[in-house]
Structures are given as structure tokens and as C-alpha cells.
Amino acid sequence: MKRVIFTNGTARCGSTLVDLILGNDPRGFSLGEVSSWFRPWRTTHFDIKCGCGVYPCPVWHELKKVGEEDLYSEILDRLDVDFVVDSSKRLTWVIDQNIRLMSAGRHQVFNLFLYKDPVSLHYSHWKRGHTDVARTTREYHYYDRAISARLPFVAVNYDWLVSNMDDSVRRLCGLLGIPHWEGKHCFWKKQHHHLWGSFGPRKQLFEKNPSNYREGFSDEYRRLIPGYEKMFGEDPDLQGTLKFLQDRDIRNLGQYPEHGRLGVRRPVFYYRQRIRDFRLRLFPQWAADREAATIRDRYV
Ligand SMILES: [Zn+2]
């Protein structure tokens, strides 16, 4: 059976990186944050600047006419690949597609939830000038919402993933039942038709050089770690969420979990976010068109 793999998680959790690594296979296809084409929320989402650097992209020229309900089937059949990877992350999209795919029963569905330990996630914000601890804590609500929607998933810790890519990616591929070879994580060796997502890995597609994904803490931050660890450790809600993720961590699971008997559902937050989606389609957030400035003009 062909596969649809979702890589989800908070911002800066590594979902774009994992999407591209898994899609680095002649029989695989990385979609990127494809939901933004069907449900645009930024000004840059109304035109496709594909990661292949060709404008307009010949692959997406045809695919963009397909409706969101047929997207995966069309790609799997039309491009004759065995699996697609979608790093859209937006839970309303992930829930809708999970429900749709599971009721059709034509494809196997996998949800991967990338996560960072609190100090590691906080450091990603801290070095960008956001020292607020509450901001990091709020990010974990993403996983609470996913859990409340009863999405079956396997959790993947980012720091573990990047500590030994050959081993972690092999384990990930084994769980998903897709091929693995040494060096599969060198995703830039394949031409991808990848949309939006984290800009670092997308830029790497063109620079074609290995990157060090292990984010070492600065000396200044290292001195602050004990205090932050104490704060995060004393937050029972955060610890509860982390426990849930750790119990479903790939390191603790032998195989992908069975779908729950009750199935995926749409909790209250889903409807609030859908209303927001419709508002943003009409009044999208302005965003600098980085893809056009750095990819199309520079590389094509
Ligand atoms: Zn393309």
C-alpha cells in the first residue's frame, strides 16, 4: 500500500528537514508545507515558488489545479511514487487529511511529531531575542491539541535525530517501511519540488552542502540552563505533555501505533482555527517573498 507521511510539530522543530530527508528517495516525494497553497494565510502563498528553483515549476503547474481532497492520490498515481511526505504542520489540515485518508482506506497514513526538549526549544527563541519562558511553554500546546484530536503518532526528538543522522534516519525509515541507505540524510543530492517551510533546509537544496544541525548552546546561555531547567521542571502541564511525547517516542516504540478505536476527531480548537483560516485567506498576513528573492533570481 502506498504511504502518506505527515511531519508535524512546532516552529523550528525540524519538520522541514525530516520531510526533505524522507523524500530523498527516487520513489518518494517531498511536498513541504503544501497546505499553504490550498489554504493560504500569507501574501506569499498565492503563487508557487517551488524548491526546484524553476519558475514556473513544470510539476506544480499541473498539480496546483488538483483539489486538496485528491492531492495525495494524484501525486502518488501521476508521478508514480510510493510515498509522499507533507510537512504542513497546521493541525486543521492534518486532521482533515487524516480523516479523509483513513476513511478512504487506500493509503497507509503516518504522523510523525517532531519535538525539542524545553531548554533546546527555548534556546532557539532565546538566541533570536525572545527570552520569555512562557512563549516556549505555549508552544507545547500544539502537541496537547494534536493529542486531543486523537491523532495516532510517533514522536521524534530533534536533538536525538541530529545526533547521529545515519542511525536515527535508518530507524525512522524502518518504522515507516521505506528504503534506507547510508547517506540518505544528504537530501540536497536530489531535486525536490518542495513548497515553503523552514528556509534553512530549502536554501541548502541549492547550496548543496552538509550542515551541522546540532545547535550548541552559547557560553552565556549555558550558564542560564540550570535556572531554566528548574522553571520548566516545575510546570506540571508541560511535564505532562512531555511525558506523553516521551511515551510515544520512536526510541520507546517497536512499531507504529494502531489507530485508536474512536478515530480522529475535530475538537473545538479546530473550528476556531478554521474560522481564522477563512479570515486569513481574505486578509492574508504580509510576508517578504524570500523564495523569489533568493531562489528564483539567484539560482535560475
Ligand atoms: Zn519544482
> 130-178: per-residue pLDDT in tens?
899 999 999 999 999 999 999 999 999 999 999 989 999 999 999 999 9
Distance, CA 45 to ligand 1 centroid (Å)?
15
Distance, CA 62 to ligand 1 centroid (Å)?
11
Distance, CA 186 to ligand 1 centroid (Å)?
19
SS3 sequence of the chain: CCEEEEEECCCCCCHHHHHHHHHCCCCEEEEECCHHHHCCCEHHHHCCCCCCCCCCCHHHHHHCCCCCCCHHHHHHHHCCCCEEEECCCCHHHHHHHHHHHHHHCCCEEEEEEEECCHHHHHHHHHCCCCCCHHHHHHHCHHHHHHHHCCCCCEEEEHHHHHHCHHHHHHHHHHHHCCCCCCCCCCHHHCCCCCECCCHHHHHHHHHCCCCCCCCCCCHHHHHHHHHHHHHHHCCHHHHHHHHHHHHCEHHHCCCCCCCCCCCCCCCHHHHHHHHHHHHHHHCCECCCCHHHHHHHHHHC
How high is the mean pLDDT of the chain?
91
Distance, CA 194 to ligand 1 centroid (Å)?
7
Distance, CA 78 to ligand 1 centroid (Å)?
15
Predicted pLDDT at 260:
66
Q: What is the CATH number of domain 3-294?
A: 3.40.50
Distance, CA 61 to ligand 1 centroid (Å)?
9
Distance, CA 152 to ligand 1 centroid (Å)?
31
Whether pLDDT at 103 is above 60? yes
List, for residues 231-240, the tens digit of each pLDDT value: 999 999 999 9
Distance, CA 49 to ligand 1 centroid (Å)?
8
Confidence class for position 300, pLDDT limits 50, 70, 90: very low
Predicted pLDDT at 292:
58
Distance, CA 46 to ligand 1 centroid (Å)?
16
Distance, CA 191 to ligand 1 centroid (Å)?
8
Distance, CA 202 to ligand 1 centroid (Å)?
12
User: What percent of the chain has pLDDT above 90?
Assistant: 73
Distance, CA 229 to ligand 1 centroid (Å)?
43
